[in-house]
Structure 1
Amino acid sequence: MKPTLLILAAGMGSRYGGVKQLDKFGPNGETIIDYSIYDAIKAGFGKIVFIIREELKADFEEIFGPKLEGKIDYDFAIQSVQSYVPAELGIVERTKPWGTGHAVLCAWEQTNTPFAVINADDFYGYEGFKIMADFLSTNKEETRHAMVGYQIKNTLSENGSVSRGVCELDADGFLEVVTERTKIYRQADGQIVFEEKDELTKLDDNTIVSMNFWGFMPGVFPVINEMFKDYAIKNLHSPKAEFYIPTVMTYLIQNGLGKCKVFSNESEWFGVTYPEDKPTVTEALQKLADQGKYPVVD
């Protein structure tokens, strides 16, 4: 059975100033999602699930429905503030959904195969999709999951600092710890550093970081559900608290419930965090089109 691709597209785009998931970046008006879907189909995925807010559904259906019809199965999962919140908590007062881990949980009903998770506004490259599709299609261990990692030198922005999950691996290439570093940038002397409490720590150019490209076996959903129930109860009155995918993976690893194989690849990642990133992404996609790596997306 072919794996499913979950696309995290419910974000608010606060720093970007708009719905960047649907913004046009390619030479013929393609979204970044168009490229991810193209690579996913080519790599062997069999279904796409868009995880979105209710108010975006009509736009997503209009834009992607005609493109996907007859090419790959697709569905929509709605991430709302109330999704999977324990009934006894009543109506939760917060404006943003609960984060990426919660988003995955919201796609439980639409997902019954091994699945991968990506961000809607990130370009990952074909190599990553092929690596993940091959793993998910052949893995027989229900508690073995995966992550496609990127070298940090290929993930920086010229327009400001970035947040990245810095990974530590064991000798066999399995994830031990992923630590979120919220202010990473390249200094004028070329050294990559992260800043924390006014202290600078150097990072090697080839340090593996998580770009939120995860692979899971479907048996993980009940675990995520129980984790989120506890999280929602504890953070009911913390409107900015977010339940992240790395939190899930860390819990699995630390409690002996799962392992995460990290696959490194040398592809250049690029994404959109700031409005100033758009010209850079547009230029990169035009270059790929000129090289013949991507056709016009109808």
Structure 2
Amino acid sequence: MINNRENNQKPILVILAAGMASRYGSAKQVESFGPFGEKIIDYSIYDAIRAGFGKVVFVIREEFLEVMKSNVGDKLPDTIEVEYVYQDFDLSKFGVDRIVDRQKPWGTGHAVMSAEPAVDRPFCVINADDFYGYDAFQKMADFLRERATDQEMALVGFEVGNTLSDFGYVSRGVCEVNDADHLQSVTERTNIYRKDEKIVYAQAESETTLPDNTRVSMNFWGFTPKIFEVARALFPAFVEQNYENPKAEFFIPDLPDYMVKQGLANFAVLPTDAKWFGVTYKEDKDQVQRSIQRLIKARHYPERLWPVKKVVDESIYLDF
């Protein structure tokens, strides 16, 4: 059973699961990859619980609620608190009066803003369809418990060479990091790929090379609720400038980038050399399944993550 007093002292995991999966072509958040139908999101939650997170908040589209509950939320152990919030097209709650005709949400920054009603303490933000590994969750959990303040937040910085797909371009927040491992700037690059044994990103009609060990954001951020205040201040102007552009997105990295440049906060870049994997394209699925099987074989994960809930009995749950 949930111990609310104990869980209220633990950081929160916010999972962004409202994306429309346009390149992948289906609801990849609930695609099965593990031997008992586990999703990538299941492995993230399993790692987060082991690392010490006490609550999971799913940011979803409202019409996706029952799918997310039946495929993920209802299978989780009762030791973890679960809440669902909706990323929708009602912008008035963010101080935007303009009505915008739009077919897709306003991006990851908008998704984070949507989580505010369910978040009251330091929290981590991740994508539902990215496999990050236990090391990232443990480093972030330790940071959120021991170091996080409104003036000191964080991200896990992956090496760009460990985050690419073999089947097309990817989007990454490219980080500039100083000698103190603090973020200086983060710039969203939406066309990164490997070409002739080099990593490049395309912009306009040019290509720029990135070293393999360049730190990038994989949307693995550690925030305090202060971030909501900053987002609400910036979002109305963004909408006003982009309401006629159906592809404009309010990205998470825009918020830390603004805070750093305005001297409002530092962002520690927590390094990891772990190899990320995910499902940007359908062709990625086989590779992800093989990677998970290798991790199970190496005993990083049990073959079945969540015991089947047949009776209300604490003995059926994993001992985290």
TM-score category (smaller protein): over 0.9
Q: How does 1:21-36 map to 2 (within 5 A)?
A: 21-36=29-44
User: Distance in 1 between the 2:110 and 2:202 partners?
Assistant: 28
What's 1:88 paired with? 97
Q: Percentage identity across aligned positions?
A: 49
Aligned match of 2:318: none
Equivalent AA in structure 1 for residue 183 of structure 2: L
Whole-Å separation in 1 of the counterparts to 2:170 and 2:30: 22
1:259 aligns with 2:266: yes
After superposition, residues 239-278 of structure 1 pair within 5 angstroms as 239-278=246-285
* 2:292 paired residue number: 285
TM-score for the superposition, normalised by structure 1: 0.95
Residues 99 and 243 of structure 1 are in contact (CA less than 8 Å); yes or no, is this contact kept in structure 2?
yes
Q: Which one of 281, 305, 311 corresponds to residue 297 of structure 1?
A: 305
Following TM superposition, by how much is the alpha carbon of 1:186 offset from its aligned partner in structure 2, in angstroms?
2.2
Letter paired with 1:128: A
Match of 1:10?
18
Contact 1:81–1:95 (8 Å) recurs in 2: no
**Which moves more between the two structures, 91-100 or 230-239?**
230-239
Which residue, out of 147, 156, 179, partners 1:171? 179
Query: Among residues 212, 215, 239, which one is paired with 1:208 in the alignment?
Result: 215
Q: Which runs of 5+ in 1 are unaligned?
A: none
Residue of structure 1 in register with 2:161 after alignment: 153
- Structure 1 distance, partners of 2:107, 2:148, is 29
SS at match of 1:50: strand
* 117-126 or 59-68, which deviates more: 59-68
Distance 1:228 1:37 in 2: 29
1:235 maps to 2:242: yes
Question: Taking structure 1 as reference, are residues 192 and 2 closer, same or farther at Cα in structure 2, changes over 3 Å only?
Answer: same
2:50 is matched with which residue? 42
> Structure 1's 140 and 53: CA in aligned 2 closer, same or farther, altered over 3 A?
closer
CA deviations over 1:199-222 (Å, ceiling 9, x no partner): 332222211111110010112212
Q: Which 5+ residue runs of structure 2 have no aligned equivalent? A: 1-8, 307-320
1:49 Cα offset (Å): 0.2
SS in 1 for 2:166: coil
Contact 2:227 2:255 in 1 (8 A): no
Equivalent in the alignment of 2:138: 130
User: What letter matches 1:86 in structure 2?
Assistant: G
CA-CA distance at 1:141 after TM superposition:
2.8
Q: Which amino acid aligns with 1:230?
A: A
- Residue 168 of structure 1: SS of its match in structure 2? strand
- What RMSD, in angstroms, separates the aligned Cα atoms of the two structures? 1.4
Shift of 1:143: 1.6
Q: Can you list the C-alpha shifts for 1:38-78, whole angstroms capped at 9, x where unaligned?
A: 00000011110000000100111122233224120010010
Distance 2:97 2:206 in 1: 44
Separation (CA, whole Å) in 1 of partners of 2:226 and 2:188? 26
Separation of aligned partners in 2, 1:199 and 1:140? 39
**Secondary structure in 2 matching 1:113:** coil
Distance 2:192 2:150 in 1: 35
With normalisation by structure 2, the TM-score equals 0.89
Q: Deviations over 1:104-153 (max 9, x none)?
A: 00010100010110000000000000000000011253221100011111
